[in-house]
Amino acid sequence: MSKENRYAARTPRLPSGVLDPQIQLEIEFRLRMYERLHEMRQFSVAVNKLFLAGLIRGSSHLSTGMEAIATGFGSAMRNDDYALATYRGHAHTIAKGVPLDEILAELIGRKSGILDGKGGSMHLTSVDRGLLGSFAIVGAHLTIACGSAWSAQMRGSDQVTVCFFGDGATNIGAFHEALNLAAVWKLPIIFVCENNLYMEYSPIDMFTAVKHPAADRAAAYGLERNVIDGNDVDVVFDFAEKAIARVRNGGGPVMVEALTYRHGGHSRADPGDYRPAEEISAWMLHDPIAIYHQRLLALGTNERDLVEIEQAVVERVLAASEIAINAEFPDSETAFTDLWSDGTSDWKKATIK
């Protein structure tokens, strides 16, 4: 089947991007979300430059085009709520309030990184801010998220866990185990499927029996079917705010499938040329920043004010990049710390003779 025919056969109908009059938000709040969208986008630009300059080793997985999901949920979460993400977790780390220079320093292996430069691009973690990890193994964190939700439930803390995962994880056993356990125990958790249509290089619908890989399976675990426009930050925030309130008040788990699209390939090593040109063009017109820019203008915001926000973000990210690049390298001794539960390398004494 040619790319063109495959596109005609499988491209979903794009969400409209039209403002829902039922979603009433203060313009100042919307401007903060607009700023956060740009922050995440410019961060990806910076990561790409650092990668091409050889400062980021290995690879990196950008979420360019998917920023509205992290922004919407991050804007609705409390500071002490928990978040777990995938290896594409830069935006979620920003959403939890981690300083940009500390994230960039982590990616390029500097001492000032949030994990002392040892976690890299795919393992961003900031426990003190509620980010319990970015996980490189597909689907592995769904059951771990159940653990953090269970902890909050047992402690009576009313904290909510939000677990972000890709569409490919819906065909992993841990997805079904996590949903089942969360439903049985009525855990305070929200499962957010970031459906960007591709599990690495393969279209998700070519390998999944249902149209919506997450939402269409919700009923099997007694959960509601929720599908939202993941590129409309107003829609995402509105859903997140209501879902978090329900979960926090003991309503049990929620699952949502947010439709989105990554602008590039699976990683920096992937050109993404397996995707039909028409599909890419159609989704580029539904870019989350472009949608929100036009909406803010329609709501009476001045174009000049939006441009000033964009320019300020660019300067902020550039400054963060310089700070990260000029930061110190870790001491060689730290290679033997944070390897065991007590943070030391004492485990070696018992295992190495």
pLDDT tens column, 89-113: 999 999 999 999 999 999 999 999 9
Residue 11 forms part of a structural domain: no
Helix or strand or coil: residue 164? Answer: strand
Residue-wise pLDDT tens digits, 220-233: 999 999 999 999 99
The band of 349, judged by pLDDT with boundaries at 50, 70 and 90, is low
Residue 340 forms part of a structural domain: no
Q: What totals of helices (H) and strands (E) does the chain contain, helices first?
A: 12, 8
Residue-wise pLDDT tens digits, 121-143: 999 999 999 999 999 999 999 99
The overall average pLDDT reported for the chain is 91
Residue-wise pLDDT tens digits, 138-151: 999 999 999 999 99
Residue-wise pLDDT tens digits, 306-316: 999 999 999 99
The band of 57, judged by pLDDT with boundaries at 50, 70 and 90, is confident
Predicted pLDDT at 239: 97
DSSP state of 12: P
Predicted pLDDT at 11: 55
Tokens matching residue 91: 């935006």
Report whether pLDDT(7) > 70.
no
CATH of the domain at 157: 3.40.50.970
Mode of pairing for the β-strands spanning 161-166 and 82-86: parallel
Q: Where are the alpha helices (DSSP H) in the chain?
A: 3-10, 27-52, 67-76, 90-95, 100-107, 141-155, 173-185, 233-248, 277-284, 288-298, 303-325, 347-351
Predicted pLDDT at 203: 87
Residue 20 forms part of a structural domain: no
Q: Whole-prediction pTM value?
A: 0.92
Residue 170 forms part of a structural domain: yes
The band of 344, judged by pLDDT with boundaries at 50, 70 and 90, is low
Predicted pLDDT at 166: 96
pLDDT, mean of residues 40-46: 97
Report angle CA 214, 218, 221 to the nearest 5 degrees.
Answer: 135
Tokens matching residue 101: 């220079």
Closest CA to 201 of 271, 295, 290, 132: 271
Predicted pLDDT at 12: 53
Predicted pLDDT at 270: 79
Predicted pLDDT at 237: 97
Predicted pLDDT at 338: 78
Residue 33 forms part of a structural domain: yes
**Length of the chain in terms of residues written:** 353
Q: Identify the domain containing residue 212 by its residue range.
A: 26-329
Residue 72 forms part of a structural domain: yes
Rounded to whole angstroms, how far apart are CA atoms 345 and 353?
A: 14
Residue-wise pLDDT tens digits, 264-308: 888 877 778 888 888 888 899 999 999 999 999 999 999 999 999
Query: How far does CA 100 lie from the centroid of its chain?
Result: 15
pLDDT, mean of residues 22-35: 95
Total structural domains in the chain? 1
Report whether pLDDT(9) > 50.
no
Predicted pLDDT at 353: 44
Rounded to whole angstroms, how far apart are CA atoms 263 and 246?
A: 33
pLDDT, mean of residues 196-211: 89
Residue 344 forms part of a structural domain: no
Residue 301 forms part of a structural domain: yes
In the chain, pLDDT over 70 holds for what percent of residues?
A: 92
